[in-house]
Amino acid sequence: MSKNTRMALVFGGFVAAVGAAFYPIFFYPLSHKDEYSPTDEPGRNQPGRDPTCGCEDLV
């Protein structure tokens, strides 16, 4: 196996590993938008949380 072929395989393996890592994070949600709609996200609506509560105590 020549040096260029080995380098191409190493580089191709790295690109494949990065692609496999990014697929579930980035590409799957883009292709399945109906599963990731903003209305179905749990934890987005927090009616009991007051973002201004307790900030005065930190000063």
Three-state SS letters, 26-59:
HHHHHHCHHHHCHHHCCCCCCCCCCCCCCCHHHC
Residue with tokens 């903003």: 38
Tokens of 37: 């709609």
Predicted local confidence at residue 15, as pLDDT? 96
pTM for the whole structure: 0.49
- Does residue 2 lie in a domain region? yes
Q: Residue 39 falls within a domain, yes or no?
A: no
The residue segments making up the domain with residue 5 are 1-33
Q: How many domains does the chain have?
A: 1
State both tokens at 20.
């496999």
CA-CA distances (angstroms) from residue 26 to 4, 13, 33, 36?
A: 32, 19, 11, 12
Mean pLDDT along residues 35-55: 61
- Residue 44 — very low, low, confident or very high, per pLDDT cuts 50/70/90? low
Residue 58 maps to a domain = no
Over residues 12-43, the pLDDT tens digits come to: 999 999 999 988 888 888 888 877 766 555 55
Is the per-residue pLDDT at 8 higher than 70? yes
